[in-house]
Structure 1
Amino acid sequence: MKVLIVSDTHGRDENLEIAINREAPFDMLVHCGDVEGREFYIEALAECPCSIVSGNNDFFSDLPREDVIEVEGNKILVTHGHYYGVFMAFDQLAEAARSRGCNAAFFGHIHVPVVEKEAGVLLVNPGSLAFPRQRGHRPSYAVMETDGKGEMHVEIRYL
């Protein structure tokens, strides 16, 4: 199964469109928040099941604060991350995922790509397609593929 993971698009869809066209076909799109009112457009563009959560800039949104999805036997917490102090450390996020029986968490907010394990939980931040903050400031997203046995393989990709 192939999952496209994006975050922090902030209503600027040009790079999201490029990422979707580059990675198609995929089985699911996960957006980790800060869509700024573009959730219906994103769902239509993706043409597949989507998990989209609200971010700290999604004012007046009906999007859920968090979601738990299942991908080939893996339970994954999807959140923006701002409720878990992710600018400082990832331990609160990892604990929140573990407490829900999740072995992975996808999050946004920091605009910096991350793929690492903490306390046995795979943490994935795809970075930002609109306002990247890492060295080089290249827009980024992540692709997760499972091998049919549930093993998750995640790669950060850049535009």
Structure 2
Amino acid sequence: MKVLVVSDSHGWSEILTELKQRYEGEVDVLIHCGDSELSADNPAIEGYVAVRGNCDTEEEFPYDIVEGVKGKRIFITHGHRYNVKMSLMKLTYKAQENGSDFVFFGHSHLLGAEKINDAIFLNPGSIAMPRGRREKTYALVEADEQQAVIRFFDETHRELTELQCVFSL
């Protein structure tokens, strides 16, 4: 499984188009974790599995999606409805309820990855307005039966190698 995960683009449609052109055909799915601030018919967001964030007004985007990719179960949400700025506890319960292998979310604009129980939680940071770091970021997730590798990139597609995470599955 190979997945591109981006979040919190806040109207920056050009970067979404650029990411799509760069990775379409190389990844199994393009995921946007909300706050695109785009309409569902905007060409920049077409082709992404996208959820609705707290800054989105597009009602066609659902708040949560469970997506199956190459035998892995991915729970996608923005995070604001689970208070991710305070704790990942509510999101952890939801992941368990859904039997998720991966949980992708945004909202805090803080990148990070960790394994909680049997699920890998990933916030790719914000591609438009990062917090905690100066780089605007997105993530690539590659997983097989044994491990998951998460790599972070900035908006110029430079890999931030010091942030790479490897998790056993």
TM-score by length of 1: 0.86
Q: CA shift at 1:134, angstroms?
A: 1.9
Q: Which residue of 1 aligns with 2:153?
A: 157
Using the size of structure 2 for normalisation, the TM-score is: 0.81
- What is residue 83 of structure 1 aligned with on the other side? 81
Partner amino acid, structure 2, of 1:141: Y
Matched, 1:42 2:44: yes
SS at structure 1 position matched to 2:93: helix
**Superposed CA RMSD:** 1.9
Q: Percent identity?
A: 37
Q: 1:21 to 1:134 in 2, by over 3 A?
A: farther
Distance 1:91 1:130 in 2: 26
Distance in 2 (alpha carbons) for counterparts of 1:110 and 1:60: 20
20-29 or 117-126, larger mean C-alpha shift:
20-29
8 Å contact from structure 1 (residues 5, 141) kept in 2? yes
1:1-159 counterparts in 2 under 5 A?
1-24=1-24, 25-40=26-41, 41-44=43-46, 46=47, 50-135=48-133, 137-147=134-144, 149=145, 151-159=147-155
CA displacement 1:95-145 (0-9 Å, x = unmatched): 11111111211001011111111232210111111111122x211001012
* Consecutive unaligned residues in structure 2, runs of 5 or more: 156-169
